[in-house]
């Protein structure tokens, strides 16, 4: 094992795949000359040149469309959005072209493309730069949605995403790029659609993904001091979702809390709850609790932002609620 920052794991995944396949290229704002807005493509322009690491104008609709078109004729583009908030400018290309071209062409065209960049809040960036769109993209058939929470998962999942023959939405976080973690030496991939139990437990299942899962770890450490054993599942991939992992865990613990940084209405947690009540209702000993942000745009004030986001104290209260403590 070696220790890498999250940004370094992202760079390694892209670099290793680009060395093996000349059809792969990286395109986005500041990915080349500036080494990436978050330095996730540092040195890649020097290695691969300007034909495979391309800076773009501030025109997400334009370069998303170029990526989709080039994928249809045999390339495997990686399109970087400086933040997925900006993907809204190019969402027509993602939803109406990338996600649908395989079906609409009767299988004549594939669209092996990765759209990657940070999602959700990252401190005081205010309402329009603090949005989580995982559930938006996961709602659309034809897209796969990946949200890693650590460097090792990020590298293995991104390599699988690049190799996938369908469009993949790969969502990171500005606040995770500096995170360090152990990453396996040598070649490895992590299949899309497979969750992982990050912490074994017996009393309650906590489901989460992305950077907010750190709050679940903090809560589990505190609850352990009180003799409460939490099982934590990192979804890693939102779509396709690993329902078997979720169901097997809740059948063991009989209680569930879901932690997700997203608005409360119609989110990923809602989908999980539906499947659990449909397939494992008789195993539940308490209603499921889901924890989300407040149902408002993200505030700029640091005091209000702290209240807006779910945190480890919220997780502790939710766990005790489902345990009737």
**CB of 77 closer than 8 Å to CB of 27:** yes
Distance CA 65, CA 140 (A): 18
Q: Which of 80, 129, 172, 261 is catalytic?
A: 129
Which tens digit of pLDDT belongs to each residue from 119-170?
A: 999 999 999 999 999 999 999 999 999 999 999 999 999 999 999 999 999 9
Compute mean pLDDT per 10 residues along the chain, 325 residues long, and list them: 98 98 98 97 98 97 98 98 97 98 97 98 96 98 98 98 98 97 97 98 98 98 98 98 98 98 98 98 98 98 97 98 97
* Summary count for the chain: helices (H), strands (E): 12, 14
The pLDDT of residue 37 is 96
Q: CATH classification of 196-323, choosing from 3.40.50.1820, 3.30.2000.10, 1.20.1250.20, 3.40.50.920?
A: 3.40.50.920
Q: Which of 17, 29, 60, 231 is catalytic?
A: 60
The pLDDT of residue 114 is 98
What are the start and end residues of each CATH 3.40.50.920 domain in the chain?
Answer: 196-323
The pLDDT of residue 32 is 98
Residue 60 annotated as catalytic: yes
What are the start and end residues of each CATH 3.40.50.970 domain in the chain?
Answer: 2-183
Q: What is the pTM of this model?
A: 0.97
Long-range contact pairs involving 134-137 (C-beta distance under 8 Å, separation at least 24): 134/169, 134/171, 134/209, 134/210, 134/238, 134/262, 134/267, 134/268, 135/238, 135/262, 135/266, 135/267, 135/268, 135/271, 137/94, 137/169, 137/239
Q: CATH classification of 2-183, choosing from 3.40.50.970, 3.40.50.2300, 3.30.450.30, 3.40.50.300?
A: 3.40.50.970
The Cα-based distances of 172 to 81, 142, 152, 260 in angstroms read 11, 20, 13, 14
Locate 87 and state its tokens. 């993907």
Distance CA 18, CA 114 (A): 13
Distance CA 70, CA 275 (A): 37
Which tens digit of pLDDT belongs to each residue from 95-131?
A: 999 999 999 999 999 999 999 999 999 999 999 999 9
Question: In the chain, how long is the greatest CA-to-CA distance?
Answer: 60
The Cα-based distances of 151 to 118, 123, 179, 232, 252 in angstroms read 14, 21, 7, 18, 29
Strands (E), the chain: 2-5, 24-28, 53-55, 76-80, 114-118, 144-146, 168-172, 180-183, 196-199, 204-208, 230-234, 237-239, 256-259, 289-291
Residue 129 annotated as catalytic: yes
The pLDDT of residue 11 is 98
């Amino acid at each position: 094992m070696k220790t890498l920052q999250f940004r370094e794991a992202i760079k390694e995944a892209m670099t290793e795949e680009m060395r093996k396949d000349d059809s792969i290229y990286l395109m986005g704002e500041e990915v080349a000359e500036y080494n990436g807005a978050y330095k996730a493509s540092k040195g890649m322009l020097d290695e691969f040149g300007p034909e495979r690491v391309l800076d773009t104008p501030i025109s997400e609709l334009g370069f998303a469309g170029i990526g989709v078109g080039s994928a249809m004729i045999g390339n495997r583009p990686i399109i970087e959005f400086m933040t997925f908030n900006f993907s809204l400018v190019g969402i027509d290309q993602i939803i109406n072209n990338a996600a649908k071209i395989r079906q609409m062409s009767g299988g004549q065209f594939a669209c092996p493309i990765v759209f990657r960049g940070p999602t959700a809040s990252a401190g005081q960036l205010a309402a329009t730069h603090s949005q989580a769109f995982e559930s938006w993209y996961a709602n659309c058939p034809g897209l796969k949605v990946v949200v890693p929470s650590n460097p090792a998962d990020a590298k293995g999942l991104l390599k699988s995403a690049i190799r996938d023959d369908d469009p993949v939405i790969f969502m990171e976080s500005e606040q995770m790029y500096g995170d360090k973690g152990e990453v396996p030496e040598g070649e490895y991939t992590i299949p899309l659609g497979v969750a992982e139990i990050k912490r074994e437990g017996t009393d309650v299942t906590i489901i989460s993904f992305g950077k907010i899962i750190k709050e679940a770890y903090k809560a589990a450490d505190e609850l352990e001091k009180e003799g409460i054993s939490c099982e934590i599942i990192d979804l890693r991939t939102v779509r396709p979702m690993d329902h078997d992992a979720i169901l097997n865990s809740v059948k063991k613990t009989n209680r569930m809390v879901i932690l997700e940084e997203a608005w409360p209405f119609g989110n990923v947690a809602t989908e999980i709850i539906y499947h659990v009540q449909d397939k494992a209702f008789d195993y539940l000993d308490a209603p499921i609790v889901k924890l989300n942000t407040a149902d408002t745009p993200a505030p700029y004030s640091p005091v209000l932002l702290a209240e807006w986001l779910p945190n480890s104290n919220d997780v502790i209260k939710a766990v005790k609620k489902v345990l009737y403590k």
